[in-house]
Structure 1
Amino acid sequence: MSATGQSFADLRADGLYVEGGVRRGSFELDLSLEVRPGEVLGVLGPNGAGKSTLLRVVAGLEELSRGAVGVGVQAWQQPGLFVPAEQRRVGVVFQDYRLFPHLDVRDNVAFAARSRGSGRAASRAHAQQWLERLGLAELAGRRPHQLSGGQSQRVALARALALEPEVLLLDEPMAALDAGARIDVRTFLRAHLADFAGPVVLVTHDPLEAMVLADRVLVLEAGRVVQQGTPAEVARRPASAYVARLVGLNLWIGTLGADGLVGLDDGGELAVATEAPQGRVLVSLRPSAITVHTEHPEHTSTRNVWPGRVTSMEVLADRVRLQLTGAPDALADVTPAAVAELDLEVGREVWLSAKATEVEAYADHAQPRRAGQLD
């Protein structure tokens, strides 16, 4: 039986499933996930959360200590069975591309068919079809050292797809690219992932990458799944401080009373207008929804007003992010013009306000965290 009480046979839907754990020393990675055909699952998490281990488990480079892995009705691992990597139809796109330096682009892509026993001519013809399909035919005769980072990443995707895999794994596919190339490759990936019929697992540190490319997001922290949902759901209601930082939200923990006030664990209270069950809740607030004042705001209907002190200031594109201590501590975004008008600087005492309608409270389903790291 699985950790969810289902038999492994029950988990064999049409897509990819992973149910079980990997133990290393005193640390264990717990996994329970399914990815439907044609769905892109974005996996986010800090270093050491277990993201790379998840990919290795699916690819067949590492065995689960317990549990099952498979795609459709085909089991890749279960008690008494382990299918090695070379017998799994899994395409992998690595962040460092891993193109063969002595082969040109066509032969790099042809390696997929050659590895399955096709002859050189047939393999090159198959590769050429994929290069044309992905708009890369003009690169066919180049060697990897003649490619830009963005071109190399496109070729790596072509090689993975030429394998005609049942599952596609993307391991930080844009981590090595500069900002300009990242935008182009993101657009390229979005277009071609939509045409892939199998499950896709995208591991990334970049929340924008996950929000743009993924149909669903899974967050790993300290070896466990802490949140899953659509990109919009995760961005709107982060379940941990890590996720809140990724999506740029303030996040507090507290207890919601019948009066609509949340007593925050770290001090202070906030009024909320959203409906949420009384009891333990998470509270989120956009930094741009906080107004900064140099004096206590008078004649206002805003229910949330509290004093604070500026501890840091950071320029972010067209805004300035303030880090403030108070009850509660908060991040607030203001315009450069407001910084000058309010004469803001580190150490400045200010007042903060936020409308109750901007404060969102929702049930806290967090479980106790465990020590240790895995990658």
Structure 2
Amino acid sequence: MSGGLELDGVVRRGGFELALRVAVGPGEVVAVLGPNGAGKSTLLRTVAGLELLESGSLRVAGRVWQDGPVALPPEERAAGVVFQDYRLFPHLDVRDNVAFAARSSGVRRAAARDGAAAWLDRLGLADLARRRPAQLSGGQAQRVALARALAREPDVLLLDEPMAALDAGARLEVRGFLRTHLGQFAGPVVLVTHDPLEAMVLADRLVVVEQGRLVQEGTPLEVARRPASAYVARLMGLNLWSGLLDGTGRVVLDRGGSLEVATDAAPGRVLVALRPSAVSVHTEAPGRPGPVSARNRWPGRVASLERLADRVRLQVEGSPAALVDVTAAAVAELGLVEGREVWLTAKATEVEVYPEATPGRPVPPPEARPVVS
């Protein structure tokens, strides 16, 4: 992949092992998602040269950065890194912070400062040039950190939780800034994040890592519609169950209960995903389902209620247990409180069914059809 990033190898740190095969094309933004301790930051550190592969290889822009025991030191790798804590030099103003990369490569001070001024102007940050880091807001500091990384004219750009330290307002500002300028970078971009919205907005493709292993990859739409693990389902705010699809369009769930589904998939092990907003709540048992009404109905008990922006999320115990999104008005109208006995219903056509992933066989992408909102 000329101009891109190719990593195929194993990193070990103490008792932890990260074994990944990852490819990122030129101009492609790949977001790496995963729980704490999954190996996300280890992946970035390996590309930057701060960790070394125990075995395998790493190539960037057609150049070998590591092959077996032979590896380029960090200072010889053209990697631009943006850290979540910015790491700006407090004693330098913004222009000299951005000029640092060129200065460390032997460029004369005047030429480095001219180059830094050009980058600040290109990114709309010229008015910050004479400020010290202590005079910057979090959002401004993060934008300067990106300018410094780009000023290196790197072959790969690495972003480690770039918005984790920002408040909600600054996060929105920086997200828009990144979306604009990452799209103009010709090399591969690897973005480590725990924020699904950040990944959905900024990335062309998602890579999900758990316990040092790749568990899923695909476009944001593919991953959002067909999560491969409980972690991904929680991240995307979906219900996810595993079970056995029989020949009648019925999935017998592993943890109790069953669901009628609308699918022509072959019988066998499957995952079943359902949006919380596609589940309806009733305080009395619904009547017998008709051909076009909700074919799935089961009793449950409200375990908890949580306000989420413009909706209320219920955790309902039952077979299966489910997350359900309702309006605040519905909570009042139905008298929903913890411990309330309820009935849940869902249409078979709202249930997403797909083969369960197995080692060597990832979750297949969904068919090209519109998502029901």
Fold shared by both chains (TM-score > 0.5): yes
Residue of structure 2 aligned with 1:313, choices 299, 305, 310: 305
Alignment of structure 1 residues 156-167 onto 2, 5 Å = 156-167=145-156
* Alignment correspondent of 2:4: 15
Residue of structure 2 aligned with 1:327, choices 319, 325, 328: 319
Structure 1: gaps (5+ residues): 1-11, 369-375
Query: Aligned equivalents of 2:340 and 2:85: distance in 1?
Result: 45
Tell me whether 1:122 sits opposite 2:111 in the alignment. Answer: yes
* Alignment correspondent of 2:198: 209
* Alignment correspondent of 1:68: 57
* Alignment correspondent of 1:356: 348
Tell me whether 1:153 sits opposite 2:153 in the alignment. Answer: no
Residue of structure 2 aligned with 1:84, choices 73, 86, 94: 73
Question: Secondary structure of 1:19's match?
Answer: strand
Residue of structure 1 aligned with 2:18, choices 12, 21, 29: 29
Query: Aligned equivalents of 1:234 and 1:115: distance in 2?
Result: 41
1:282-321 CA distance string (max 9 Å, x none): 0000000000000111153221000000000001111110
1:159-208 CA distance string (max 9 Å, x none): 00000000000000000000011001000000000000000000000000
Residue of structure 2 aligned with 1:98, choices 76, 83, 87: 87
Moved more, 270-279 or 144-153: 270-279
Structure 2: gaps (5+ residues): 361-373
Query: Aligned equivalents of 2:251 and 2:235: distance in 1?
Result: 24
* Alignment correspondent of 1:254: 243
* Alignment correspondent of 2:127: 138
1:367 to partner: Cα distance: 4.3
1:333 to partner: Cα distance: 0.5
Question: Secondary structure of 1:310's match?
Answer: strand
Query: Aligned equivalents of 1:79 and 1:251: distance in 2?
Result: 40
Percent identity over the alignment?
Answer: 70
* Alignment correspondent of 1:185: 174
Are the counterparts in 1 of residues 247 and 266 from structure 2 also a CA contact under 8 Å?
Answer: no
Tell me whether 1:223 sits opposite 2:212 in the alignment. Answer: yes
1:77 to partner: Cα distance: 0.4
Query: Aligned equivalents of 1:319 and 1:80: distance in 2?
Result: 54
1:27-73 CA distance string (max 9 Å, x none): 31111010000000000000000001000000011101110011132
Are the counterparts in 1 of residues 299 and 343 from structure 2 also a CA contact under 8 Å?
Answer: yes
Residue of structure 1 aligned with 2:336, choices 334, 344, 362: 344
Query: Aligned equivalents of 1:275 and 1:113: distance in 2?
Result: 59
Query: Aligned equivalents of 1:364 and 1:209: distance in 2?
Result: 27
Query: Aligned equivalents of 1:125 and 1:72: distance in 2?
Result: 27
How well do the aligned residues superpose, as a CA RMSD in angstroms? 1.1
Alignment of structure 1 residues 209-288 onto 2, 5 Å = 209-288=198-277
The normalised TM-score by structure 2 is 0.94
Query: Aligned equivalents of 1:354 and 1:113: distance in 2?
Result: 59
Are the counterparts in 1 of residues 6 and 60 from structure 2 also a CA contact under 8 Å?
Answer: yes
Query: Aligned equivalents of 1:175 and 1:160: distance in 2?
Result: 18
Residue of structure 2 aligned with 1:297, choices 281, 286, 289: 286
Q: Judging changes above 3 Å, is the alpha-carbon distance between structure 1 residues 242 and 91 closer, same or farther for their aligned structure 2 residues?
A: same
Question: Secondary structure of 1:344's match?
Answer: coil
Query: Aligned equivalents of 1:363 and 1:18: distance in 2?
Result: 28
1:80 to partner: Cα distance: 4.1
* Alignment correspondent of 1:47: 36
Are the counterparts in 1 of residues 32 and 208 from structure 2 also a CA contact under 8 Å?
Answer: yes
Instruction: Give aligned pairs, total.
Output: 357
Question: Secondary structure of 1:76's match?
Answer: strand
Query: Aligned equivalents of 2:152 and 2:61: distance in 1?
Result: 18
Query: Aligned equivalents of 1:27 and 1:94: distance in 2?
Result: 23
Are the counterparts in 1 of residues 54 and 69 from structure 2 also a CA contact under 8 Å?
Answer: no
Query: Aligned equivalents of 2:358 and 2:165: distance in 1?
Result: 33
Instruction: Please tell me the residue identity of whatever aligns with 2:269.
Output: R
1:274 to partner: Cα distance: 2.9
Question: Secondary structure of 1:212's match?
Answer: helix
